[in-house]
Amino acid sequence: MNNHTPRLLWVVLAGWLLVNWLQAAITPADPDEAYYRLYAQHLAWGYFDHPPMLALIIAAGQQLVGGALGIRLLLPLLQVISVWWIWRLSGSPAQNRRLLLLVAILAAMPMFEVYGFIAAPDAPLLFFSVLFFAAYQFFLSRPGLRAALLLGACMAALLYSKYHGVLLIFFTLLSNLALLRQPWFYVASFFGFGLFFPHLYWQFANEFPSFLYHLQGRDDPYELKHTINYLINQVVIFSPLLFPLWVYAIARYRPVNLLERAYYFVIGGFLLFFLWATSKGHVEPQWTCILSIPLTLLLFRYSDGRPVFEAWLWRLSLASFIAIMVFRIVLAVDALRPAQLDKQFLHKTWVTELKKEAGDSPVVFQNSYRLAAVYDLYTGQTAYTFTDADYRKSQFDIWDREKDLHHKKVLIAAQKDLGCPSCRTLKADRQQFKLYWIDSLEVAQKVRIDVNEPPSTWLAGQRVSLTVSLYNPYAHPIGLVKGASPVSVSAMFFANNEDVIFAGGEMPLRILPPGDTVQTELIFRVPPRLKPGAYHWSLGLKTGALPPAVNSRSYPVVLY
């Protein structure tokens, strides 16, 4: 292996870095990046959606530069370091032609390109995946304390980046079960576990929100379209032009060492695991982005000494690279960007219009943590989101920032389908909101409702009386029938993927004292239109015209 870095590689890395920094500066931030920016402003050991590595990277970048570039500043740097390490993993080729071919293959991988300038958890996941392979190679060649600590640190960093990292660790172990007889592997594992323990404790302290969301929140009935979309996406994200070559290369090549054997297990394991995951619902294309690394290395290795294959690899890699660069230019320039992408990147007009309407008053978005984050990014004003039964929870449901809104005048930016004839409609940048004011908001989003002895059967249309306990975690009392937008209770019925069915409830309770638990009677009628069958139901508090949040756990019931 050549340990000297060729001058050509330094030139390529410098160019790669500058191009990605330019792209990061001129491409508008997308809503997810704005959301992750809020993570960075509230550093913690964990977040609802993801582990904290990306938040830490963004926080470091924002100390130096603001705006979209600050969010993305360090990611291009991490990627060029990744390219250097991939060069080392490939055998440190010194010939200009071979070195440039390796770079061309990487540049032809769409997912690898994107995470050089877009801030997403997959960016640090890719970076630490490269370091993990390098640490594993070092561990195989020289097992010992130093190698074990490096491998353990990389395993922890993978998990701190994105939970998918556990699959990389598992399939690597599966490729070499002899590691289970290697004492230094246990040192690496325990060291990595110790480094990752603060995140596990954060999950425990917050009732495991991430694990429950990822394991339970995505369990839809099987649909063939999910499997078809997954298979098509794998062709696209690893370059449609290169797809025949890497299929051919993987089928023909035989691994010559344990590291290359791990590449095969990781590729096959990821593809099969997420193929199975399509039985549970939609699989995002980027969930297999780690495979850009072993696919590149195996393609490069197979091309060595095969001039015809190498020639085709050159042609198709360059063609893919040109197509990707055209797309990147289109993405960065507003006048060229297709309408399908405008909603993802064009936000300044609707933010400006909404800011004019709200003035200095707080804005509460219904069911959109992403748009609340965008509003915060472009106005510098704290925004909020209220999550109801029709939407998933987010980090906003863990933060307690909504307590500052109690008895404040707020502007509600509701979804366009909210039943509110008197609301004003705002349309701009392919966004649409229904706006209305609440003069004195009663904040009750985190009230917890428990049902004493929930029944197991009901009749559709039945009048139900339950004994419930309401716990108010806030430092303020909550008026349940106060003002023009009172807080009231509703029952919600869920069945498979059908719409949520609501049933308004009544309670004699009028005031919920701060920090206290109050027991009261709740009366509601089971919706007559519900068909016989098995359901889950919950209780929630609704504020004015907004649908209710979910404030209780889910209870099973059978309707007759």
Encode burial over 481-516: b for 16+ CB neighbours within 10 A, e otherwise. Answer: eeeebebbbbbbbbbeeeebbbbebebebeebeeee
DSSP state of 542: E
Digits of tens for pLDDT over the chain (560 positions)? 567 899 999 999 999 999 999 999 999 999 999 999 999 999 999 999 999 999 999 999 999 988 889 999 999 999 999 999 999 999 999 999 999 999 999 999 999 999 999 999 999 999 999 999 999 999 999 999 999 999 999 999 999 999 999 999 999 999 999 999 999 999 999 999 999 999 999 999 999 999 888 876 566 778 999 999 999 999 999 999 999 999 999 999 999 999 999 999 999 999 999 999 999 889 999 999 999 999 999 999 999 999 999 999 999 999 999 999 999 999 888 778 887 776 778 888 899 999 999 999 999 999 999 999 999 999 999 999 999 998 999 999 999 999 999 999 999 999 998 988 889 999 987 889 999 999 999 999 999 999 999 999 999 999 999 999 999 999 999 998 766 678 999 999 987 666 789 999 999 999 999 999 999 999 999 999 999 999 999 999 999 889 999 999 999 999 99
Question: How high is the pLDDT of residue 221?
Answer: 76
Please enumerate, as own/partner, the contacts of 132-139 that have beta carbons within 8 Å and a separation of 24 or more: 132/157, 132/158, 132/165, 132/168, 132/169, 132/172, 133/89, 133/259, 133/262, 133/293, 133/294, 134/85, 134/88, 134/89, 136/172, 136/259, 136/262, 137/89, 137/259, 139/184, 139/185, 139/188
Phi, psi of 193 (to 5 degrees): -60, -40
Note the pLDDT of residue 307: 96
Q: Distance (Å, rounded) from C-alpha 410 to C-alpha 406?
A: 10
Q: Partners of 492 in the beta sheet?
A: 502, 538
Q: What Cα–Cα distance (Å) separates residue 382 from each residue in 99, 101, 375, 378?
A: 48, 48, 8, 10
User: What is the spatial distance between Cα 145 and Cα 206, in angstroms, rounded to a whole number?
Assistant: 35
> CATH for 448-559, among 3.90.650.10, 3.20.20.30, 3.40.50.970, 2.60.40.10?
2.60.40.10
Model pLDDT, residue 523: 96
Reported as half-sphere exposure (CB side, CA atoms, 13 A), residue 305 has a value of: 3
Residue found under tokens 């495991």:
208
Q: Give the pLDDT confidence score for residue 480 in this predicted structure.
A: 86
Tell me, what DSSP letter sits at residue 396? G
Task: List, in sequence order, every beta strand (DSSP E) within 29-78.
Answer: none
Residue with tokens 């293959």: 105
Rounded to whole angstroms, the Cα distance separating 398 from 206 reads 8
- For residue 402, count CB atoms less than 10 angstroms from its CB and return exposed for 0-12, middle for 13-18, buried for 19 or more: buried
Question: The pTM is what?
Answer: 0.92
Of 50, 217, 391, the C-alpha closest to 372 is 391
- pLDDT in the model for residue 482: 67
Domain boundaries, the chain: 7-332, 347-438, 448-559
Beta strand 511-512 with 487-494 is unpaired
